[in-house]
């Protein structure tokens, strides 16, 4: 939804009626919109001689086959297990067909848009041209209006519905300008730099000062892990062996960060504290810096330090690749979207491919080159610049409804494509139990609010566990659930529940059915498309998450030179991802192909490779949340990893 021309240039006059134009019966309504927010004020007709940038998103080919293709390479019982696709193959399979391109082009040229005016994006995702207001209205048999967001001043050209020839419909995803409106930006963010407290919508860590002397690892793992989780405690919990093998040069662990930075001094202090891991000072992640991002930072961030201080003791001497994303203008300031520029950088076709009305990046995403010359990246948007690592861990996220549904669906499809390429993607499940940091849904805020991207069925969602007081690393853990003030300032409960967007995928259908059959939650639920129907507070037919869990409470870290205890599902994702990364090194050492791709099918088929967590709940929305139970549950998933068993499972395939 490009906004190119100033309001005054576009607008001609107030128009009294917005009656739809007649359209020929060769045409059909392609898109029709519903109600829009009262923040959008309109009634000004687009001027007939205005220059309007028009973009026609072409339908991706084969997208409906993507799920089955992914299962075909991810189900161990399949003949094609592990036969992953290359980036070029993925681009080719999903690119709109030449037939689509030609059909749309000939419609345009026969409507008077000369071929020379039409630009075709590099990877075939869309066609673009500049049309006058009059040409656009006549092409789509409708009237266009200029709208303005009364709170931010954002502008958008749109119509209530538009038409295209019937034979073109199967080729066109959507047209902009059309019926779409950009995500309503938070007026505070639109006016001012994002504050550090609002940035915490994204990453998911908790922290507090450590009790003096406690993070030195002075206590042994039998007695001290209930107070402080050291690298030894993580190793003891999940039976991770001391590393003696030689890591493969092709298996760096990928970690995503945005707007939060590690510092070398803190990493060095941490390595020195836990010197038995023999990680030399100066050990730092390999940069894969995206769109002007820089690291390390001047000021240490709680997220990055936590991620690296957890991952290095597990994977070292394996390298870690840091996908630090976005220039400081966006990463620390003005962007509301997340992950799209990262995904662009590891899959060039994502830069322009279209899905459900999102074509390339959304208006809530960063724009490059950035016209802010002091803090902006002046280069072009990075597209396919980096190869994704075999394993990627992301400890950032928010609620499903934090971004438009089409934005989320397009991203989730991209995680599917990464799985097809053999990449295993892990996300933290969120720190607000059945709620999200933005609260709960419904008029009374009583409806559970699932997490984005934690609820995408093509990623592995990782929840958090903890060792309760007076237990050891060999005792069962419980779901992480700490009330406000104990020990962190705000309440923290591991994220879990059921999606309002994605249905229950086959790989977890039995596990979810077992939970409902044997441990039916007492809450009323809804099961159709109406939120809160029958007083329900969760979606009985949504994808359940998390898939797995790992410790996420009282973790020893050094941040800004201070000993701290950190927690959150932010810790759990890098722990689990590091374990998978180690196992991939073992596969390579055994002469097997390294990449494992999308892991959920194999994980759900091997529940005995996990410590089943059966104590605790994930409170939120004024309830105790869901309860853990034997088997999979929407609190801790299948449970925490048992390294030797998981290795056996993953070395067999
Ligand atoms: C851990 O500490 C306990 C209590 O001091 C002691 O009995 C045990 O032997 C120690 N274990 C190890 C492995 O050092
Ligand atoms: C890690 O990166 C360093 C620096 O690029 C390189 O010398 C080393 O071989 C890498 N180690 C592995 C295991 O790939
Ligand atoms: C690493 O990857 C490169 C190129 O992708 C390949 O030539 C090399 O054989 C791989 N090395 C190992 C140890 O797998
Ligand atoms: C490593 O860095 C830490 C923190 O700056 C420092 O205390 C320690 O002496 C250094 N160790 C070596 C071997 O230089
Ligand atoms: C550029 O961005 C910085 C913040 O990153 C801001 O302080 C400055 O005002 C911006 N300059 C312009 C011209 O927008
Ligand atoms: C800079 O870009 C923003 C959004 O991309 C736009 O609103 C603004 O008008 C641009 N400023 C200049 C001076 O081009
Ligand atoms: C919220 O209130 C409106 C107006 O009373 C009602 O139409 C809607 O169904 C309510 N939504 C929910 C989820 O209860
Ligand atoms: C843990 O053990 C200590 C010492 O025996 C005791 O004071 C405390 O109440 C115990 N805490 C819990 C939660 O059981
Ligand atoms: C519940 O989940 C399904 C997916 O199975 C979805 O189609 C439906 O819209 C969701 N209901 C609500 C109210 O979000
Ligand atoms: C939810 O709706 C689906 C489709 O209508 C149906 O098959 C299923 O049995 C329903 N589940 C519950 C728990 O009502």
Q: pLDDT (tens digit, 9 = 90+) per residue, 258-304?
A: 999 999 999 999 999 999 999 999 999 999 999 999 999 988 888 99
Can you give the pLDDT at residue 123?
A: 67
Question: pLDDT of 77-109, one tens digit each?
Answer: 999 999 999 999 999 999 999 999 999 999 999
What is the pLDDT confidence band of residue 195, given thresholds at 50, 70 and 90? very low
Does 322 have pLDDT greater than 50?
A: yes
Instruction: Categorize the per-residue pLDDT at 196 as very low, low, confident or very high, splitting at 50, 70 and 90.
Output: very low
Q: What is the DSSP letter of 351?
A: G
pLDDT bucket at 213, cuts 50 / 70 / 90: low
Is 134 part of the annotated catalytic residue set? no
Q: What is the mean pLDDT of residues 348-368?
A: 86
Distance in Å from the first CA to the final CA of the chain: 45
Q: Which one, of 317, 184, 336, lies nearest residue 259 by Cα?
A: 336
DSSP H/E element including 91: helix 87-94
List, in order, residues 6 or more apart from 422 with CB less than 8 Å away: 73, 82, 84, 390, 595, 596, 597
Cα–Cα distances (Å) from 283 to 263, 271, 272, in that order, read 11, 9, 11
Query: What pLDDT score does 403 carry?
Result: 82
Q: Report which ligand 4 atom has the smallest distance to the Cα of 281.
A: 1
What is the tens place of the pLDDT at every residue in 567-587?
899 999 999 999 999 999 999
pLDDT at residue number 192:
38
What pLDDT is stored for residue 434 in this prediction? 98
Q: Is the model more confident about 587 or about 10?
A: 587
- pTM, 2 dp: 0.89
What sign results for the dihedral spanned by CA atoms 401, 407, 410, 416?
negative
| Probe target for ligand 4 pocket from 216, 268, 284, with the most ligand atoms within 8 Å of CB | 268
- Closest CA relative to residue 2, chosen from 52, 40, 56, 59: 52
Helix 231-238 and helix 569-589: axis angle, to 10°? Answer: 60
CA 323 from chain centre, in angstroms, equals 14
Nearest CA to ligand 6 atom 1: 371
Phi, psi of 147 (to 5 degrees): -120, 150
- Output the residue whose Cα is nearest ligand 2's atom 2: 319
In the chain, count of helices (H) and strands (E)? 17, 31
Per the listing, tokens 């105790």 go with 624
Region 135-151: mean pLDDT is 94
How many Cα atoms within 13 Å fall on the side-chain side of residue 575? 35
Q: Is the CB of 509 under 6 A from ligand 9?
A: no
**Among the options 31, 135, 227, 307, which is catalytic?**
307
Evaluate: CB of 486 within 6 angstroms of ligand 8: no
- Smallest Cα–Cα separation from 341: which of 291, 410, 379? 291
Quick check: 74 and 81 in contact, CB under 8 A?
A: yes
Quickly state the pLDDT bin for 525 (edges 50, 70, 90).
very high
Q: Report all structural domains of the chain as residue ranges with CATH numbers, in order of start.
A: 4-60+95-185 (no CATH), 196-202+213-652 (3.40.50.200)
Which of 169-173, 509-513, 532-536 comes out lowest in average pLDDT?
Answer: 169-173
pLDDT, residue 33, reads 87
Query: With 80 as the cut, is the pLDDT of residue 198 above it?
Result: no
Nearest to 126 by CA among 180, 199, 66, 53: 53
pLDDT classification of 191: cutoffs 50, 70, 90 = very low
Kindly provide the b/e burial profile for residues 259-282, where b requires at least 16 CB atoms within 10 angstroms of the residue's own CB: bbbbbeebbbbbbebbeebebeee
Res 387: pLDDT: 97
Element (H, E) at 148: strand 145-149
Q: Mapped to the 3 state alphabet, what secondary structure does 250-273 carry?
A: CCCEEEEECCCCCCHHHHHHHHHH
CA distance 336 to 355: 20
User: What is the residue whose two structure tokens read 């502008």?
Assistant: 155
Residue 163 near residue 142, CB atoms below 8 Å:
yes
**Mean pLDDT score across all residues of the chain:** 89
- What average pLDDT does range 385-404 have in this prediction? 93
Catalytic residue among 135, 227, 257, 303: 303
Across residues 597-625, what is the average pLDDT?
A: 98
| Ligand 8 closest atom vs CA 470 | 1
Find how far residue 564's CA is from the centre of its chain: 27
The pLDDT, as a whole number, for residue 186 is 63
Spatial separation of the C-alpha atoms in residues 163 and 178, rounded to whole Å? 10
Residue ranges lining ligand 1, Cβ < 6 Å: 220, 222-223
Annotated catalytic, 307? yes
CB atoms within 10 A of CB 175: 25
Q: What is the pLDDT of residues 428-476, one digit of tens each?
A: 999 999 999 888 999 999 999 999 999 999 999 999 999 999 999 999 9
CA distance 102 to 107: 9
C-alpha 375 – ligand 5 centre gap (Å): 7
CA separation, residue 462 to residues 344, 346, 402, 510, 652 (Å): 24, 22, 20, 19, 23
In this structure, which long-range contacts are made by residues 195-201, counting pairs with CB atoms below 8 Å and at least 24 apart in sequence? Answer: 199/259, 199/260, 199/332, 200/437, 201/398, 201/402, 201/437, 201/438
Query: What integer pLDDT is reported at residue 216 of this predicted model?
Result: 53
Q: How far, in Å, from the CA of 405 to the mean position of ligand 7? A: 20
Q: Which long-range contacts (CB under 8 A, 24 or more apart) does 648-651 make?
A: 648/609, 649/602, 649/606, 649/609, 650/580, 650/583, 650/584, 650/587, 650/596, 650/602, 651/583, 651/586, 651/587, 651/590, 651/592
- How far apart CA 353 and CA 361 sit, in angstroms, is 9
Contacts of 4 (CB under 8 A, 6+ apart): 51, 52, 53
pLDDT recorded at residue 205: 62
CA 422 to chain centre: 17
Say what the alpha-carbon torsion angle 304, 309, 313, 314 is, to the nearest 10 degrees. -40
Taking 50 as the threshold, does the pLDDT of residue 3 lie above it? Answer: no
pLDDT of residue 306: 95
Note whether 610 and 602 are within 8 A (CB). Answer: no
| Maximum Cα interatomic distance, the chain, rounded to a whole number of Å | 80
Contact at 8 Å (CB) between 511 and 604? yes
- Name the percent of the chain lying above pLDDT 90: 73
CA dihedral 181, 186, 191, 196 (to 10 degrees): -140
Choose between 330 and 544: higher pLDDT. Answer: 544
Inter-residue contact 415 to 376 (CB < 8 Å) = no
The predicted pLDDT at position 221 comes to 61
Does the annotation mark 570 as catalytic?
A: yes
**Ligand 2 within 6 A of 318 CB?**
yes
Is the CB of 272 within 6 Å of ligand 4? yes
- What confidence tens digit (pLDDT) does each residue in 235-250 have? 999 999 999 999 999 9
Q: How far is residue 436's CA from residue 494's CA, in Å, rounded to a whole number?
A: 10
**SS3 (DSSP) at 285:** coil
Encoding tokens for residue 536? 């329900």
Give the pLDDT confidence score for residue 623 in this predicted structure: 98
């Amino acid at each position: 939804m490009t906004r190119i021309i100033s309001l005054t240039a576009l607008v001609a006059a107030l128009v009294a009626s917005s009656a739809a134009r007649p359209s020929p019966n060769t045409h059909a309504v392609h898109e029709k919109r519903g109600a829009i927010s009262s923040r959008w004020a309109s009634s000004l007709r687009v001027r007939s001689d205005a220059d309007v940038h028009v973009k026609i998103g072409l339908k991706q080919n084969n997208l409906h086959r993507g799920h089955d293709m992914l299962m075909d390479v991810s189900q161990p019982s399949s003949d094609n297990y592990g036969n992953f696709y290359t980036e070029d193959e993925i681009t080719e399979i999903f690119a709109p067909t030449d037939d689509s391109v030609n059909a749309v082009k000939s419609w345009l040229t026969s409507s008077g848009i000369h071929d020379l005016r039409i630009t075709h994006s590099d990877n075939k995702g869309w066609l673009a041209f500049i049309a006058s207001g009059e040409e656009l209205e006549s092409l789509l048999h409708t009237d266009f209006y200029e709208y303005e967001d009364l709170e931010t001043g954002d502008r958008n050209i749109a119509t209530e519905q538009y038409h295209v020839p019937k034979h073109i419909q199967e080729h066109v995803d959507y047209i902009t300008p059309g019926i779409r409106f950009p995500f309503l930006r938070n007026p505070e963010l639109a006016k001012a730099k994002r504050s550090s407290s609002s940035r915490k919508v994204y990453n998911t860590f908790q922290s507090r000062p450590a009790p003096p002397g406690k993070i030195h690892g002075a206590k042994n793992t039998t007695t001290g892990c209930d107070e402080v989780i050291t690298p030894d405690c993580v190793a003891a919990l999940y039976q991770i062996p001391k590393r003696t093998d030689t890591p493969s040069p092709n298996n760096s662990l990928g970690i995503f960060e945005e707007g939060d930075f590690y510092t070398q001094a803190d990493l060095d202090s941490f390595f020195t504290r836990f010197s038995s891991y023999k990680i030399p000072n100066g050990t730092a992640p390999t940069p894969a810096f995206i769109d002007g991002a820089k690291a390390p930072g001047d000021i240490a961030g709680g997220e990055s330090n936590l991620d690296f201080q957890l991952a290095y003791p597990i994977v070292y001497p394996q390298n870690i690749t840091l996908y630090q994303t976005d220039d400081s203008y966006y990463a620390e300031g003005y962007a509301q979207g997340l992950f799209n520029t990262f995904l662009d950088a590891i899959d060039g076709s994502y830069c322009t491919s279209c899905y459900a009305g999102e074509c390339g990046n959304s208006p809530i995403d960063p724009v490059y080159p950035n016209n802010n010359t002091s803090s902006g990246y002046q280069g072009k948007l990075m597209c396919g610049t980096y190869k994704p690592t075999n394993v990627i861990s992301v400890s950032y996220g928010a609620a499903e409804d934090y971004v438009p549904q089409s934005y989320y669906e397009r991203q989730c499809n991209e995680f599917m494509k990464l799985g097809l390429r053999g990449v295993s993607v892990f996300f933290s499940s969120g720190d607000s139990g059945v709620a999200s940091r933005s609260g709960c849904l419904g008029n009374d805020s009583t409806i559970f609010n699932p997490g984005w991207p934690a609820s995408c069925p093509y990623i592995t969602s990782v929840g958090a566990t903890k060792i309760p007081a007076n237990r050891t690393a060999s005792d069962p853990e419980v779901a992480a659930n700490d009330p406000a003030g104990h020990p962190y300032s705000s309440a923290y409960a591991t994220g879990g529940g059921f999606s309002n967007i994605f249905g229950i995928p086959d790989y977890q259908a039995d596990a979810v059915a077992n939970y409902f059959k044997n441990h039916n939650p007492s809450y009323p639920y809804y099961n159709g498309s109406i939120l809160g129907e029958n007083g329900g507070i969760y979606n009985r037919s949504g994808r359940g998450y998390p898939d797995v869990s790992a410790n996420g409470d009282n973790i020893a870290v050094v941040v800004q030179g201070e000993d701290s205890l950190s927690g959150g599902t932010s810790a759990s994702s890098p722990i689990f991802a590091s374990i998978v990364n180690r196992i991939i090194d073992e596969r390579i050492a055994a002469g097997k192909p390294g990449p494992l791709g999308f892991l959920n099918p194999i994980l759900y088929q091997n529940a005995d490779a996990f410590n089943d967590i059966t104590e605790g709940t994930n409170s939120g929305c004024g309830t105790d949340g869901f309860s853990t139970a034997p088997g999979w549950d929407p609190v801790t998933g299948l449970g925490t990893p048992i390294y030797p068993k998981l290795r056996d499972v993953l070395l067999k395939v």
